[in-house]
Amino acid sequence: MTLADIRLRVAMRAQKIMQDATGAMAADTTEPVASQIDQAIRDGIDSFWSDHDWSFASQFVQFDIDPDGTAMSIDGDAGRYLLPDLVRSQPLNPRVFIRGSDGGGGMPPIPVVSMDQVVERQFLEPDTSGVPIACAVEWSSTLRPGMSQRGGLEFRVFPDPGDRYTVSFRALVGAVPLVQETQRGNWPAAHDLSIVAFAVRELFRHDQKADSPARKVAEAEAAEALARSTRHDNEFYKAATLGSMADQATTRGRVVEFVDLTNGNTILSVTTFS
């Protein structure tokens, strides 16, 4: 469904409809109803996204790093990059894939280590560059200064890239905000009606008293929709594969390795689970 489709179905379920210029049924466009419906859709999507470990929330993130910095680099620093807001986690795998930007292969994956290790090496060897041998991702509240802006996830590599490289790793991502009428969400179409049910529930939570029959029905319908979507996700979508690292981590577990960056040897390997 498009955003327009979702809005119409939410409006129909909540009985907040009108006729458009052609006489066709449409969602109420008067205020504050229109804004309430749109806010309910946003809240419903966020609530649905957070209520289960969806298979489709685990996706590959890919971008370029280079000696001169890119649009994603922080303050032009070739060793620091700001990940998109849609990325919601550190790499789920213990390695990050890397290749030359010209498509050439043959480079070993970069181990994901602690941010402390990467920062230490950057301070000790600030002029070193070449093929990165380690990386780290950590939340930073200082990446976007200003009261109206949040921080973000910072991706660091050591050493600074000596050439242009493409890196890729699997991470948890959030729902893409729906802003265009013809835009579709970044979830399988099988869950569209569940999104509608969640949006209706959010609208009724704002519009109805807690003990109202309409709100109770909306709560029950959202719970049933979540159960259907969960069964569908578990039955028809296998857990994301991790290539040659399948025996080291899962979509819910992540191997954190502490590496001696002077020789590349692993000192300690710990599996963490979310």
Residues 79, 99, single domain; the answer is: yes
Which range of residues forms the domain containing residue 161?
56-173
Task: Based on the fold, state whether residues 71 and 19 are members of the same structural domain.
Answer: no
Vertex 136: Cα angle to 135 and 137 (nearest 5): 140
Question: Based on the domain organization, do 48 and 60 belong to the same domain?
Answer: no
Please give the pLDDT value at position 261: 54
pLDDT of 269 above 80:
no
For residues 212 and 133, what is the distance between their CA atoms, to the nearest angstrom?
59
| Position 269 in a domain | no
What is the per-residue pLDDT across 21-71, written as a single tens digit (0 to 9) for each?
899 999 999 999 999 999 999 999 999 999 999 999 999 999 999 998 777
Query: Within 13 Å and on the Cβ side, how many CA atoms surround 82?
Result: 18
Query: How many structural domains are present in the chain?
Result: 2
**Residue 259 lies inside a defined structural domain of this protein:** no
Query: Is pLDDT above 90 for 11?
Result: yes
Looking up tokens 């994603």, which residue turns up?
72
Q: Are residues 167 and 203 in the same domain?
A: no
Assigned domain for 256 exists: no
Same domain flag for 35 and 77: no
How far apart CA 62 and CA 84 sit, in angstroms, is 11
On whether the CB atoms of residues 137 and 112 are closer than 8 A, the answer is: yes
Average pLDDT, the chain: 87
